[in-house]
Chain A
Amino acid sequence: MRPAIRTDNLTQGYGGNPIIENLTIEIDGGIVGLLGPNGAGKTTLLRTLATVLPPRSGQVQLFGKSLDGDADVRAARRHLGFLPQEFGYYPNFSLYEFVRYCLWLRQVPGRRAREAAMDAIEAVDLGDQAKTKMKALSGGMLRRAGIAQAVAGGVRLVLLDEPTVGLDPEQRLAFRELMRRVSAEATIVLSTHLVEDVAAICDRLHVIASGAFGFSGTPDELIGAAVDGARGDTELERGYISVLRDERVRA
């Protein structure tokens, strides 16, 4: 079985500043959380995996294929859903139209697209807002609309950058349920600041700091990494803070 994501010595950055250096990872199946402080490179990594940013050096493989040429990248994108941190949308489109448009961008055939769009909208509990214009949706609804377009159409890899920002507790619970359902068919990689989301739904965690993975393991293993005296309200937070402190010392 080929992993959904594999990077070899991936280096990425903006201008003269490298943000990720020589990152080699393999992600396959389940729900994978990316944790890390601001500026650690989570968004850059997700944008690179979403093929929006070309790697500066190194290689990215999706679904076991290198992304060397146009055809490979396009083929991978058909099975890839991405929710960027700054989710852009067309304000005059209705929610249904926008999700449908995103499916068109992903080259989902028209026959399947209608059903897939409605299914995704229902899945984020916005069925009654399908005809509402995007500009009339609240912040939380927009985030759910973004999640809907990312999971629509039977994708095999879902990349979500801060998906739960703006969601109320009830919606976050619904989001976790949705992720569990989607993960039966697809690999999900999500970045978040909310440690409780990670604890609740992620099968594996990667703590990213200074462009490298400082920790990779299960939530329980991260809890186990906590050192005495580490700050944090939960065990997972203490584990996370401990890993970060350790990384800083090493850096």
Chain B
Amino acid sequence: MIRVLGMELRRSPFLWVVLPISALAIAVLLRERETWHAVWPEASVQVIAAATQLPGVAVAAVAAWAAQRVHRTGTADLLNGAARPRWQIEAVQLFSSLVFSWIVLAVVSLIAGFVTARMAPPGSLWPSYLLLGFAATIIVTALGHAVGSTVNSRLAPPVAGFLSFFPLFVMSLLVPYFGEANKEVSPAALAARVAFAITCVFAALFVSARTVVGRRPAWRPLMATGSAGLAVLAVVALGPPQQARAPAEDPVCGLVERTRVCLWPENAARLPGALQATKALIDTTRHVFPYPDVVAEEGLAIAGGSTVFVGVVAGSTGEAFGSLQSFRLTWALLKDCGAEESEVAGRRRIEARAKLDTWISSSHLGRLQDAYWDSIALTSAGRQEVGSTLKLARAEQVQWARRQITIMGACGG
């Protein structure tokens, strides 16, 4: 068996494409490395996204092409008349295709591990994410193999690639896009994806299998595709691959004046940026509203005083942290007036929040921020008002900002 596997590996069409596919995966991985290279979970997700999404489509197509060998070479009689069960024959070829897809995953993991180890606190790529990627590579390779071994058409490889495109890209069913530190792989979702991978392998092995007397047994492909279908339902029913983590017991914290800024330990490398952003916000909002005692990353349980929770978007820099903080702070200042408030009054208060938010961000930048980043509640007149305010003296700007807060807190009938 090992010797035949060696032959399959040496003669696989993957030999010709494993380098370009790996190069593609590495290019995708390193394209925006500064957004993940200091955070292990984010690096882990980037590894599996880079190794499975675009390359996964190519892997599925090549696996289909490889599995079509029986149709191209006219060896059906040879295989159908073999003493060895057909599923074993398919298994060796499928395994050789899988080895190449794992090589891509391994190469990308090594590079990401090397890059991240230099920037992040001590740690490693998260095995649960790698397992998710491992399952995804099995799914797309087995899917390609199943399509190729059953469809004798030149369209089979693009069809296999297209079928992989949906779960990986469009539906993001198999792997997540980001690996925020406050999230982890859901064990149930992981189990569903592993089960899906196993059923895909079964489908690939048995969908083209015949009994020795030559009739294709209806129950085998039916059972294989049926179980794969059930596994898809389980994947969909059990939801996204990630879930919230239990609060970390050892968050990393820093102090800005009297405000504590705390992040998940995995985001330790981002603490200086977060402190800097918080300092800039405190300076901007001084005399406008009292700053909270604690600014904590979402998912942490930090005791002590008023607290605002800020989500650290995977890949975000200190600037983004400041922007999100401003967003949360201004929403916290918006009074909840209930359903009795008229739509006009509510809209006026929401626009006041949008103006305040744009003013905070723009003050921090030293100029009116790009309209792209404005809240959709901000009208063009409101944007002009913020622009004019920024040209006023600091004391007048503070007065204007306080007026916005007053509007935000005044419920209208």
Contact = CB atoms under 8 A, between A and B. Distances in A.
Interface string A51-91: 11110000000000001001001110110101010111111
A162 B355 CA distance: 88
A89 B73 CA distance: 6
B77 A104 contact: no
A97 interface: yes
A67 B80 CA distance: 15
A93 interface: yes
Interface string B1-21: 101100100010000000000
B75 A106 contact: no
Given A70-B211, A74-B212, A91-B73, A105 B11 contact: no
Given A51-B81, A106-B83, 8 more contacts: A52-B80, A70-B211, A86-B77, A88-B73, A90-B73, A93-B7, A93-B11, A107-B84
A92 B11 contact: yes
A97 B82 CA distance: 16
How many B residues touch the partner, as a band? 20 to 34
21 contacts: A50-B77, A52-B80, A52-B81, A53-B214, A70-B211, A74-B85, A87-B74, A88-B76, A88-B77, A90-B73, A91-B73, A97-B11, A100-B3, A101-B4, A102-B78, A105-B79, A105-B82, A105-B89, A106-B83, A107-B83, A110-B1
Contacts of A77: 81-83, 212
Nearest to B69: A90
Contacts, number: 79
B179 to A, nearest CB: 40
A47 interface: yes
Contact of B75 (A75, A80, A89, A110): A89
Contacts of B395: none
Interface string B203-216: 00000000111110
Contacts of B73: 88-91
Interface of B: 1, 3-4, 7, 11, 69, 73-85, 89, 211-215
- Secondary structure type dominating chain A contacts: loop
Given A78-B83, A93-B11, A100-B3, A105 B78 contact: yes
Contacts of B76: 88
Given A53-B214, A73-B212, A90-B11, A82 B77 contact: yes
B14 to A, nearest CB: 12
B11 A104 contact: no
Nearest to B92: A104
A234 to B, nearest CB: 33
Given A77-B81, A89-B75, A106-B83, A101 B212 contact: no
B11 to A, nearest CB: 4
A52 B4 contact: no
Contacts of A110: 1, 3
A78 B81 CA distance: 10
A27 to B, nearest CB: 18
- Secondary structure type dominating chain B contacts: loop
Contacts of B79: 105
A87 B78 CA distance: 8
B77 to A, nearest CB: 5
A223 to B, nearest CB: 34
Given A54-B215, A73-B213, A88-B76, A106 B7 contact: no
B220 to A, nearest CB: 13
A47 B89 CA distance: 20
A53 B81 CA distance: 9
Nearest to B76: A88
B66 to A, nearest CB: 11
A87 B69 CA distance: 14
A228 to B, nearest CB: 43
A106 B80 contact: no
Contacts of A88: 73-78
Contacts of B3: 100, 104, 110
Nearest to B214: A54
B84 A104 contact: yes
A6 B78 CA distance: 22
A206 to B, nearest CB: 22
A107 B85 CA distance: 10
A50 B81 contact: yes
Contacts of A100: 3-4, 7
B213 A70 contact: yes
Contacts of B75: 88-90
B213 A67 contact: yes
B76 to A, nearest CB: 7
A75 to B, nearest CB: 8
A110 B5 CA distance: 13
Interface centre among B69, B79, B81, B215 (most CB of A within 10 A): B81
Contact of A106 (B74, B82, B214): B82
B149 to A, nearest CB: 15
A152 B131 CA distance: 44
Interface in A95-133: 97, 100-102, 104-107, 110
A52 B77 contact: yes
Nearest to A110: B3
A84 B85 CA distance: 20
Contacts of A105: 78-79, 82-84, 89
